[in-house]
Amino acid sequence: MRTKSVGKKKINIVTLGCSKNVYDSEVLMGQLQANGKEVVHEDKGDIVVINTCGFIDNAKEESINTILEYVEAKNRGEVEQVFVTGCLSERYKPDLIREIPDVDQYFGTRDLPLLLKHLGADYKHELVGERMVTTPRHYAYLKISEGCDRPCSFCAIPLMRGKNISTPIENLVIEAEKLAKKGVKELILIAQDLTYYGLDLYKKRALGDLLLRLVTVEGIEWIRLHYAFPTGFPEDVLEIIKNEPKVCNYIDIPLQHINSDLLKAMKRGTSHEKTNALLAKFRQMVPDMAIRTTLIVGFPGETEEKFQEMKEWVREQRFDRLGCFTYSHEENTTAYVLKDDVPQEVKEARVEEIMELQSQISWEKNQERIGKTYRCIFDRKEGNYFVGRTEFDSPDVDNTVLVPAENTYLSIGEFADIKITSAEEFDLYGELV
Ligand code: SF4
C-alpha cells in the first residue's frame, strides 16, 4: 500500500460508535492541529480517517458501510487517501485488509503515534488534555481510563480495547481546567467501567478521589457519571453525589439483566438480590438521583419465563432512563460457545415490550415534574423551541426540556431556571422563571 505525502492536505475525521470514540477522535484532531495540520470533523477533506466501532452487529455494519462509501469516493477521485482506525480495525484487521484492500492503511485502537506518522505528524506527549472538542462547547466527555478487566461473557470490548488503564488524576484535572477555560461547563465522565477507576494505578477505587478534585475546577458546574458497574460499587461516590452540588444526581449503570442464572452466564459477578440491594442503596442514599440503565434481551438461555422476570423487575424498579438491546453473538467472546437460541424476531419483540413499558414509566415520572422548577442547560435551538436538559438528562440519550422560542430568549450553553408546564414520555415543556 503506497503512502502519498500529506503536506497541507485537509484531513477529515469521521467518528462512529460510542462517546469513547468521540473522545479518541478529539485527541487525534488535537494532535494533528498541534502539528499544524488542517483538520475537520465529518466534513470534506482530501484525506479521511474513519474511527470505527466493532462492538455489535449493527455497529459493525455501519462501520463497514462507511469504509466502503469513502473507498468509492476515493475511486471516484474525490478523496486521495482513506485510513481506518478504531475498534473494528483493531478486531478484524486481517479480514479487512483482505476484504477491502483499497484502504491505504488500517490501525488499531492503540496506534495513535503510528497513525499520526502516516498523516505526516508527530505524537506530542506534552499535549496533556489538549483536544479538539466536537461536542457543543458547553459540554465535553472526559475519558478517565481505557480498556476493561471485566470478564462479561457477551462483550468484545476487552478484545478491542485491552486491559484497564486509568489516567492519572493530575492529568485529568489539567484536562478539566483546559476544557473549563474553553467554556466547558458540563463534564461527562466516561470509561468502559467507571467504577474500576484507579485500581491499577492507586491499588484502590479512586473515582471518589477524582471527583473531589474535579469539583474544585473553576467553571465546571456539572459532572456526570456514565458506565458504572454494579459489582464492587464504591459507596463513597454516593456520598459525593449527595453532598457535592456540582456532581449531578445522575448515574448511568448498565445492569444488562436481572435473572441470576443469566447474570451468572454473562459473568457479571452479581445476582438478582445483590442488584436490588445496590439499587435500594442508591435510592436510600440519594433519593432523587436519576438512574439510567441498559439491558440486553435474547442472551442464550433467556426463556420466556426469564424474560418475564426482567420485565416485572423493570415495572417494579421504575428506572428514570433505560436503553434495551438485542444480544449479539460475538465471536471470541466467552458466550460464543453458547447456542444463540433466541430467534432474532423474538429478541426484537422483547426489546419492544421493554421499551413500551419504559415509555409508560417515563411518561408517569415526567407528569410528577409538572409545576416544579429545574435548573437547565440549553444545548440548541430547534424550530420554535430552545432544547435543554435538567441534571437528570445526559445529551443525546435522555429526556429534553423544550421552551417555546417565540416569547423567550435563552442563551445556548447557559443555565436557566425552567418551570415545567407539561410533559410527554421523553420530553418536558416549560417556561423561563
Ligand atoms: S464492563 Fe463488561 S460490558 Fe462493560 S466493557 Fe467491560 S467487559 Fe464489556
Predicted local confidence at residue 1, as pLDDT:
41
Distance 191 CA to ligand 1 centre (A): 10
Residue 148 Cβ < 6 Å to ligand 1: yes
pLDDT range class, residue 8, cuts 50, 70, 90: confident
Predicted local confidence at residue 143, as pLDDT:
98
Structure confidence by residue, pLDDT tens digits, 112-162:
999 999 999 999 988 877 899 999 999 999 999 999 999 999 999 999 999
Contact 271, 260 (CB under 8 A): yes
Residue 193 Cβ < 6 Å to ligand 1: yes
Closest atom of ligand 1 to CA, residue 161: 5
The residue contributing the CA closest to ligand 1 atom 4 is 192
The residue contributing the CA closest to ligand 1 atom 8 is 155
Q: What are phi and psi of 298, to 5 degrees?
A: 85, 15
Predicted local confidence at residue 3, as pLDDT:
46
Distance 386 CA to ligand 1 centre (A): 36
Q: Check pLDDT > 90 for residue 200.
A: yes
Distance 89 CA to ligand 1 centre (A): 19
pLDDT range class, residue 2, cuts 50, 70, 90: very low
Strand partners, 39: 11
pLDDT range class, residue 404, cuts 50, 70, 90: very high
Distance 150 CA to ligand 1 centre (A): 6
Residue 406 buriedness (CB in 10 A; 0-12 / 13-18 / 19+): exposed
What is the rounded CA–CA span in Å between residue 431 and residue 418?
A: 5
Distance 127 CA to ligand 1 centre (A): 29
Distance 228 CA to ligand 1 centre (A): 10
Q: Check pLDDT > 90 for residue 431.
A: yes
Predicted local confidence at residue 126, as pLDDT:
83
What is the rounded CA–CA span in Å between residue 19 and residue 16?
A: 9
Instruction: State how far Cα 22 lies from the chain centre.
Output: 9
Q: Check pLDDT > 70 for residue 282.
A: yes
Residue 103 Cβ < 6 Å to ligand 1: no
Q: What are phi and psi of 212, to 5 degrees?
A: -65, -20
pLDDT range class, residue 5, cuts 50, 70, 90: low
Distance 368 CA to ligand 1 centre (A): 34
Residue 155 Cβ < 6 Å to ligand 1: yes
Q: Which of 392, 365, 367, 381 is nearest to 414 (CA)?
A: 381
Closest atom of ligand 1 to CA, residue 192: 5
Predicted local confidence at residue 47, as pLDDT:
97
Q: State pTM to two decimals.
A: 0.95
Distance 157 CA to ligand 1 centre (A): 6
pLDDT range class, residue 104, cuts 50, 70, 90: very high
Output Rg (C-alpha) for the chain, integer angstroms. Answer: 22
Q: Check pLDDT > 90 for residue 251.
A: yes
Q: Which of 154, 139, 181, 214 is nearest to 396 (CA)?
A: 139
Residue 229 Cβ < 6 Å to ligand 1: yes
Mean residue pLDDT across the chain: 96
Q: How far is CA 54 from CA 13, 51, 63, 322, 339, in A?
A: 17, 10, 8, 23, 21
Closest atom of ligand 1 to CA, residue 156: 8
Mean local confidence (pLDDT), 246-257: 98
Residue 252 Cβ < 6 Å to ligand 1: no
What is the rounded CA–CA span in Å between residue 304 and residue 284?
A: 32
Sign of torsion over alpha carbons 346, 351, 352, 357: positive
The residue contributing the CA closest to ligand 1 atom 2 is 152
Contact 326, 286 (CB under 8 A): no
Mean local confidence (pLDDT), 190-202: 97
Closest atom of ligand 1 to CA, residue 149: 6
Residue 269 Cβ < 6 Å to ligand 1: no
Q: Check pLDDT > 90 for residue 163.
A: yes
Mean local confidence (pLDDT), 335-344: 98
Distance 193 CA to ligand 1 centre (A): 7
Residue 157 Cβ < 6 Å to ligand 1: yes
Question: Could you tell which of 87, 91, 164, 193 is best to mutate to test the pocket of ligand 1, judged by most ligand atoms within 8 Å of the CB?
Answer: 193
Residue 330 Cβ < 6 Å to ligand 1: no
Three-class HEC string of the chain: CCCCCCCCCEEEEEECCCHHHHHHHHHHHHHHHHCCCEEEECCCCCEEEEEECCCCHHHHHHHHHHHHHHHHHHHCCCCCEEEEEEHHHHHHHHHHHHHCCCCCEECCCCCHHHHHHHCCCCCCCCCCCCCCCCCCCCEEEEECEECCCCCCCCCCHHHHHCCCEECCHHHHHHHHHHHHHCCCCEEEEECCCHHHCCCCCCCCCCHHHHHHHHCCCCCCCEEEECCCCCCCCCCHHHHHHHHCCCEEEEEECCCECCCHHHHHHCCCCCCHHHHHHHHHHHHHHCCCCEEEEEEEECCCCCCHHHHHHHHHHHHHHCCCEEEEEECCCCCCCHHHHCCCCCCHHHHHHHHHHHHHHHHHHHHHHHHCCCCCEEEEEEEEEECCEEEEECCCCCCCCCCEEEEECCCCCCCCCCEEEEEEEEECCCEEEEEEC
Predicted local confidence at residue 6, as pLDDT:
61
